[in-house]
Amino acid sequence: MLLRRRSISKIALGVAALLAPALLGTTATATAAPATGPDSRVAAPSTSSLTWQGCGGDLPATVECATIEVPLDHRRPGGRKIDVSLSRIKAADPAERRGVLLFNPGGPSGSGLFYPLALSGLLPQSVKDRYDLIGFDPRGVGASSPLACGTTTADERLTYRPFKDATFAKDVAWARDIADRCRDRNKETLRHITTRNTARDMDVIRAALGERRISYFGLSYGTYLGSVYTQLFPQRVDRFVLDSAVDPKRVWRSMAQSWAEQAEPAFDRWTDWTARHAARYGLGDTPAEVERLFWDIVARADREPLDLGGTRFDGAEVREYIRWEITHPSVAARTLGLLRDAVAGKPVPTFPTFVPTDNELASYLAIMCGDTRWPTDPAVYRADSRRDSVRYPLYGDSVSNIFPCAYWDRPVEAATKIDNKVPALIVQNAWDSQTPLAAAIGLHRALKGSRLVTVDEGQGHGVYSLGISACADEVTTRYLITGKLPSRDVTCAADPLPAADSRSASPGPATAPARLPFSGR
| Percent of the chain residues topping a pLDDT of 90 | 76
Q: At what angle do helices 221-232 and 195-208 cross, to 10 degrees?
A: 70
pLDDT band, residue 395 (cuts 50/70/90): very high
pLDDT band, residue 157 (cuts 50/70/90): low
Q: What is the pLDDT of residue 37?
A: 63
| Residues 6 or more apart in contact with residue 20 via CB below 8 angstroms | 85, 113, 142, 143
| Beta carbons of 230 and 240 less than 8 angstroms apart | yes
In angstroms, the CA 74 to CA 39 distance is 10
Number of residues assigned to the chain: 521
Spatial CA neighbour of 265 closest among 383, 441, 454, 395: 395
* DSSP track, 23-80: TTS-EEE--PPP-SSTTGGG--S-------EE--TT--TTEEEEEEEEESSTTSTTS-
Q: What is the pLDDT of residue 505?
A: 37
| Beta carbons of 52 and 88 less than 8 angstroms apart | yes
| Beta carbons of 231 and 38 less than 8 angstroms apart | yes
Average pLDDT for residues 328-352, to the nearest whole number? 93
Of residues 171 and 355, more confidently modeled: 171
Burial of 471 (0-12, 13-18, 19+ CB in 10 A): middle
* Poorest-pLDDT segment among 13-17, 218-222, 346-350: 13-17
Which pLDDT tens digit goes with each residue over 357-390?
Answer: 899 999 999 999 999 999 999 999 999 999 999 9
Which pLDDT tens digit goes with each residue over 418-436?
Answer: 999 999 999 999 989 889 9
* Poorest-pLDDT segment among 63-67, 194-198, 401-405, 507-511: 507-511
List residues with catalytic annotation.
220, 432, 461
Q: What is the pLDDT of residue 134?
A: 97
Q: Where are the beta strands (DSSP E) in 360-468?
A: 424-431, 450-459
In angstroms, the CA 468 to CA 93 distance is 27
Which pLDDT tens digit goes with each residue over 254-310?
Answer: 999 999 999 999 999 999 999 999 999 999 999 999 999 999 999 999 999 999 998
pLDDT band, residue 28 (cuts 50/70/90): low
